[in-house]
Structure 1
Amino acid sequence: MAWMNSCHFAIRIEEPDGEKLPSHLNLLARGLKLNDIRCLLCSYRVESLNHTLFSCEIALEIWSMVRIWVDIPIPFFENWLEWLSWHQGWTGSSRQKMRLYAIVATLSWILWRYRNAFLFDPGKMKKQELYDLIRLYSYNWCKDRGKDCISWTDWLIKPL
């Protein structure tokens, strides 16, 4: 288990076999009987944390928008460990790395929130809002940290 701290928040990254969030796959592994373990968002594959954050149709769509926005060639990942390994080896400046980490952490948080809203409060979050929420929340986290003085307009144009 690893912890990454950035922008006044921490994201807990679990080993693939120690995943703790209540995805359908984890609930099934804990002995809960479910009628359907397919992804709530795409109904295509078994719902796991990695699927929800990296390979679900909606995740792929959001990742694609973020790749265009940040304007760097981010590869595709299967899980958090692959993302972290790539991020640690990426040659951006420390400020760029912090901003990119905040963006990806926000992307993950928003996708998980969307999944939960889809399950518990359908209609509360709209798919069209996800990208804008990622840009807004990641900006606020970086700005509120106190060390990053980028304007909202500049953030929207070139966050890194």
Structure 2
Amino acid sequence: MRNNLIPQKIGIFIWRVVKGRIAVKTELEKRGIVLDTLLCPMCNNVPESIDHAILSCKTAQEVWEGIHKWWKINLPSHITLEELLGGSNYVNFSGKISKIWQAITWSASYIIWKNRNQKVFKNDSWSSSKIICEVQVKTYEWISNRSRNIHKDWLHWLLDPINLGFPDINNRDPG
């Protein structure tokens, strides 16, 4: 999977997520690895699956809510990981904005996973607001350095990321 606005390692990570090749506890158990617990290391409430780690764990939910609020769009109450990572169908973006939205969702998934690993391997993790800030900073750096056609003003990115200085500002599909 590829999006040239973000590093290739994120596309590889997303491919692994889609193929079920992420080392969450339920996947490790399926492969015969004995673990002390199958519970999510972030919330300790439910068995850790890929969907839970990236989408439905409390911290991940807060991150997705914050990112959708930043973009001034509604987060559907019932969304699958496949729908979230699959593109912009539920938000009606097209063209360049669709590609930027994909870069945001893929990068956020990657950063949520990195935070989960920080908790597992170093017993340290960030708040959801710090993860959101990291998504904003990293995607701004990656996108502004990888595209000549995108307005590169940091404040504009934070306040109105949908309108990034394209010749046709309105990138939402009608209706």
TM-score class, shorter-chain normalisation, is: 0.7 to 0.9
- Identity rate of aligned residues, in percent? 23
Aligned Cα RMSD in Å? 2.0
Aligned counterpart, 2:45: 44
Aligned counterpart, 1:152: 154
How far the C-alpha of 1:63 sits from its partner, in A, is 0.6
The runs of at least 4 consecutive aligned structure 1 residues that moved more than 6 Å come to none
Aligned counterpart, 1:67: 68
Are the equivalent residues in 1 in contact too, given 2:87–2:98 (CA < 8 A)?
no
How far apart are the structure 2 equivalents of 1:65 and 1:15?
22
How far apart are the structure 2 equivalents of 1:92 and 1:20?
29
Are the equivalent residues in 2 in contact too, given 1:102–1:141 (CA < 8 A)?
no
1:7 counterpart = 2:5 = yes
Are the equivalent residues in 2 in contact too, given 1:70–1:159 (CA < 8 A)?
yes
Code of the aligned partner of 1:141: W
Unaligned 5+ residue runs, structure 2? 163-175
Unaligned 5+ residue runs, structure 1? none
How far the C-alpha of 1:45 sits from its partner, in A, is 1.3
How far apart are the structure 1 equivalents of 2:46 and 2:90?
30
**Residues 15 and 144 (structure 1), Cα distance of their counterparts in 2 relative to 1, 3 Å cut:** closer
How far the C-alpha of 1:84 sits from its partner, in A, is 4.1
Matched residue count: 155
Instruction: Give the match's secondary structure for 1:44.
Output: coil
How far the C-alpha of 1:96 sits from its partner, in A, is 1.1
* Structure in which a larger fraction of residues adopt strand: 1
How far the C-alpha of 1:149 sits from its partner, in A, is 2.3
1:138 counterpart = 2:139 = yes
1:120 counterpart = 2:118 = no
**Residues 88 and 4 (structure 1), Cα distance of their counterparts in 2 relative to 1, 3 Å cut:** farther
